[in-house]
Homo-oligomer: A and B are copies of this chain.
Amino acid sequence: MSAAKGRLVIIGLGPGAAEWVTPEATQALAEASDLVGYAPYLERVPERSRQVRHASDNREELARARQALSLATAGRCVAVVSGGDPGVFAMAAAVFEALEAGEPCWRGLDVKVIPGITAMQAAAARLGAPLGHDFCAISLSDNLKSWGVIEKRLTAAADGDFVLALYNPASKARPQRIHDAFACLRARKPPKTPVIFARAVGRPDEEVTITSLAEANPAIADMSTLVIIGSSATRVVSWPGTARPFVYTPRGEAARR
């Protein structure tokens, strides 16, 4: 066994609201000597004296992971701070990629992942239970994979009649990919399929839009938006006098109408 005395925790803060930060995450943040992360996530963590902050820019995941592994190997108690769940389109995969490809002296490190509420769960909770049955989570970011792979997965998800949760639907550099995704899905799923744009759920600027595949305007999705697209069973229910429709996917075909 290696003698490295530092440790590395990869922490999920959840989507933004303090009430979604788990006790495990809170405890690990309190114990850390160093916080490493994308600057807006570090800003969510209360300041502590004697705790060193290493803020970095977006798209710097591998460099950030290497920095965290080096600090931990030097004996620091390092927390990599991630939004949502670090295991779902966030920092955990980057740390393990860096660990596998990196320095042999990193290999004995104690590395722990602390799960968190991810954006699709927060969005689903606000709406009802749209993820109430089989679903897929797909990142539309084509920084590291080709559009061909993304399109193959969108097609398979439509063929399997899954509910879809789309992460990273748009960026300033690639505003087109959410439009391409909708074109792919519109060719394969019924026009009345429910579509939800859930922006910044749990944060002050939260905004939720419920629409249909036919009527959706994909241009409203930004990098803070999680998009949910229903299966053939997903239902939008409203009655006169109720505040907002709820959206849910029944647990089986028996509940379909």
Contact = CB atoms under 8 A, between A and B. Distances in A.
A183 B14 CA distance: 37
A85 B125 CA distance: 9
Contact of A92 (B18, B114, B132): B132
A48 interface: no
Contact of A250 (B2, B18, B97, B159): B97
Interface stretch (A30-38, A70-78, A148-156): A148-156
Interface residues of A, number: 82
Contact of A2 (B100, B149, B241): B241
A135 interface: yes
B157 A161 contact: no
Contact of A125 (B18, B87, B128): B87
A126 B241 CA distance: 46
A237 B113 contact: no
Given A95-B129, A137-B137, A144-B252, 16 more contacts: A17-B24, A19-B23, A19-B24, A20-B24, A92-B129, A92-B248, A97-B251, A97-B255, A108-B242, A114-B125, A115-B122, A136-B157, A146-B253, A152-B161, A153-B161, A156-B160
